[in-house]
Amino acid sequence: MNSWIVETEKLTKAIGGKAVVNDVKIQIGQGDIYGFLGPNGAGKTTTIRMLLGLAKPTQGSIRIFGKDLRKERLSILRKVGSLVEYPSYYGHLNARENLEVVRRLLGAPRARIGEVLDVVRLTAESSRPVKGFSLGMKQRLGIATALLGQPELLILDEPTNGLDPAGILEIRELIKRMPKELGMTVLVSSHLLSEIEQMATKVGIIAKGRMLFQDSIGALRERAQAKVRLGVSDPESAWRQLLAAGYEAEWDRSRLTVNGASDSRIAAIVASLVRQDFDVYRVEEEGASLESIFLKMTGGEGSL
């Protein structure tokens, strides 16, 4: 038996004869913050709904905590908390009262309400009617609701969607604390690439229902070749000189660019230019961003 908290094989969902999720393989380890990344309409929410037993796969398998979701759905979902799309509340009730409704359904201890309010830092606001909460506070209350049953796996679908920068920061920092403070594994979906980059330990990229990449954020960055830009006198002549000397370079009418060259090769290029009496006044390395890699993988489908 492997140690994956979540594992899918050939997971497929067809709607109207069209596969909106196609042959998806997901592997999430204990303590991961797994960033499920893709443009809107890529199949993220459909996949999440299948993981939560809210939609039935057309084919393929889902194992959570090493158990088959089809055979042990109830026992699995007792250990899973989720926030899918926007949470709904009783606006006239305060935060504690809203949590009490769910606590009774789950059979959780009454003391658990205070604990989850403390985790999401809403204790001071817990007596206010929820209708007066900001969107960020409502999202935090939604996460508190998902935590009531002390889940081992937390699944969050676009938790920062529609939030202002302060709200995004609140949710991001909350998610980053989960594995260390609560021993929890987190799956968080988003189309905001910068957010996933700042909180995830592992990333899965999906587009048009197919998984394009799955590995650590570091492994994703390694796929990009760093560019070195050179500021030189007379860049066109310098570019022609490098080509004649057998070096690959690009010229954009103001600077020279060398792709994926080693340190020693860059040093040789600079030395060659200096010997030919060109002034080299700037050498800058420019790493490819996560977003540029993502756009290349998905054929230009991106996020904001």
Q: In the chain, where are the structural domains located?
A: 4-221, 227-287
pLDDT in the model for residue 303? 46
pLDDT in tens, the chain (304 residues): 458 999 999 999 999 989 999 999 999 999 999 999 988 889 999 999 999 999 999 999 999 999 999 999 999 999 999 998 777 899 999 999 999 999 999 999 999 999 999 999 999 999 999 999 998 999 999 999 999 999 999 999 999 888 888 888 989 999 999 999 999 999 999 987 778 888 999 999 999 999 999 999 888 777 666 688 899 999 999 999 999 989 888 888 888 988 767 788 889 999 999 999 999 999 988 766 666 777 777 766 554 3
pLDDT at 1: 44
Distances (CA, A) of 225 to 36, 222, 228, 251, 299: 23, 7, 10, 17, 18
Nearest alpha carbon to residue 32 among 168, 212, 152, 170: 152
Torsions phi, psi of 191, nearest 5? -105, 0
* Strand, coil or helix: 151: coil
Per-residue tokens: 221: 């960055």
> Which of the four CATH numbers 3.30.1490.20, 3.40.630.40, 3.40.50.300, 3.40.1160.10 does domain 4-221 have?
3.40.50.300
Which secondary-structure segment (H or E) carries 172? helix 165-182
State which amino acid sits at residue 289.
S
Please give the sequence-ordered ranges of beta strands (E in DSSP) within 217-274, or none if there are none: 227-232, 250-251, 256-259
pLDDT of 24: 97
| Residue 59 DSSP one-character state | E
Q: How far is CA 76 from CA 51, 63, 80, 256, in A?
A: 10, 9, 7, 57
Amino acid 188: pLDDT: 96
Q: Output the pLDDT for position 225.
A: 64
- In the three-class reduction of DSSP (H, G, I as helix; E, B as strand; rest coil), residue 153 is classed as strand
User: Angle between the 165-182 and 135-147 helix axes, to the nearest 10 degrees?
Assistant: 20
Which CATH architecture does the domain made up of 227-287 adopt? 2-Layer Sandwich (3.30)
Give CA–CA dist 284/259, Å, rounded: 12
Q: What is the rounded CA–CA span in Å between residue 288 and residue 35?
A: 19
